[in-house]
Amino acid sequence: MRTEAGRDPGRRLAAILRRRRRLRPALLLTAPLLWLTVLYLGSLAVLFVSAFWSTDSFTSEVVKVWTTDNFHALLTTPVYRQVVLRSVAVALAVTGLCALLAFPVAFYTARVAPPCRRPLLVAAILTPLWASYLVKVYAWRLILSEGGLADWMLAPFGLRGPGYGLPATVLTLTYLWLPYMILPLHTALEQLPAGLLDASADLGARPGRTFRSVVLPLVLPSAAAGSVFTFSLSLGDYITVQIVGGKTQLIGNLVYSHIDLDLPMAAALGTVPVAVIVLYLLAIRRTGALDNL
């Protein structure tokens, strides 16, 4: 009797879920939505609110009094403006390089390579993601160091490696986030009907025209999806520029350097990447590139 009574609540719940099918996805989404609302959106709200506080210059303690001085300094100080523009430029450069490098690789793995080798090639593309972030960045630091692999490979041409600085930062970030652009393009090109390419060739279109008129419109949504990862990850990165960037400063470095000295100012600086990424997503959405994802 106790066993049957203990099963009654479970049976009743199962009967309710059978009758109300819409309740099942709601229960499954409750925990993720709760996590998103409380932890992620809640932390962003706290970040935004604390950006309107100030710091006592004598005690370095946070003064919870409403003020817009941090945002005023952010907009009027030339150094902050330069760092923000530099960070956005780096993120756009990394995204552009990833797109240029990812397309031929994805085209080969999806359309040219034999079908039996394609899973192995995709696994090879994913292999760098299995390594530690710091290991990869420090490996590039050794490659770009004076007398390193880059100098050794370019020496026969009378050239030298870029060394540490902004080009090294862009190059390293491109390597780090390149798989996030290759995989969406690989999936889009793999699903591209071969008949479209044959029909374009039969109608007399050259490869360049086929790419512009047939391939590019179909893979643009996947490229846009990959660019969200490459752009946002590059914009918020601060470790790579510390290791290979030399004296270069990005927005992430300023946030990190202000955490102990001026927490409200660090919060104000932290709102900049969030705002830029939101504007980037809105711009991509207005182009219609994400409609077919």
Least confident of 7-11, 102-106, 185-189: 7-11
Helices 42-50 and 263-287 pack at an angle, to 10 degrees, of 120
List all residues 6 or more positions away from 34 whose beta carbon is below 8 Å from its beta carbon. Answer: none
Is residue 36 scored above 90 in pLDDT? Answer: no
Is residue 293 scored above 60 in pLDDT? Answer: no
Rg value, the chain, Cα: 25
C-alpha 218: how far from chain center: 22
Confidence of residue 134 (pLDDT cuts 50, 70, 90): very high
Task: Show the 3-state SS of the chain.
Answer: CHHHHHHHHHHHHHHHHHHCCCHHHHHHHHHHHHHHHHHHHHHHHHHHHHCCCEECCCCCCEECCCCCHHHHHHHHCHHHHHHHHHHHHHHHHHHHHHHHHHHHHHHHHHHHCCCCCHHHHHHHHHHHHHCCHHHHHHHHHHHHCCCCHHHHHHHHHCCCCCCCCHHHHHHHHHHHHHHHHHHHHHHHHHCCCHHHHHHHHHCCCCHHHHHHHHHHHHHHHHHHHHHHHHHHHHHHCCHHHHHHCCCCCCHHHHHHHHCCCCHHHHHHHHHHHHHHHHHHHHHHHHHCCCCCC
Which burial class, exposed, middle or buried, applies to 83 when counting CB atoms under 10 A from its CB (0-12, 13-18, 19+)? Answer: buried
Q: State the average pLDDT over residues 186-191.
A: 91
The mean of the pLDDT values for the chain is 86
List all residues 6 or more positions away from 128 whose beta carbon is below 8 Å from its beta carbon. Answer: 136, 175, 176, 179
What is the structure's pLDDT at 124?
A: 93
Per residue in 82-104, pLDDT tens?
999 999 999 999 999 999 999 99
Least confident of 10-24, 41-55, 82-96, 259-273: 10-24
Per residue in 206-225, pLDDT tens?
877 877 878 888 888 899 99
List all residues 6 or more positions away from 234 whose beta carbon is below 8 Å from its beta carbon. Answer: 90, 91, 94, 95, 173, 177
Confidence of residue 245 (pLDDT cuts 50, 70, 90): very high
Confidence of residue 5 (pLDDT cuts 50, 70, 90): very low
Alpha carbon dihedral 231, 233, 236, 237, in 10-degree steps, equals -120
Q: Are 65 and 148 in contact (CB under 8 A)?
A: no
What is the structure's pLDDT at 1?
A: 45
Handedness of CA 280, 283, 289, 290 (dihedral sign): positive
pTM: 0.85
Q: 16 vs 30, which has greater pLDDT? A: 30
Is residue 243 scored above 50 in pLDDT? Answer: yes
What is the structure's pLDDT at 283?
A: 87
C-alpha dist (Å) from residue 208 to 87, 180, 200, 215, 216: 33, 25, 11, 10, 10
What is the structure's pLDDT at 56?
A: 82
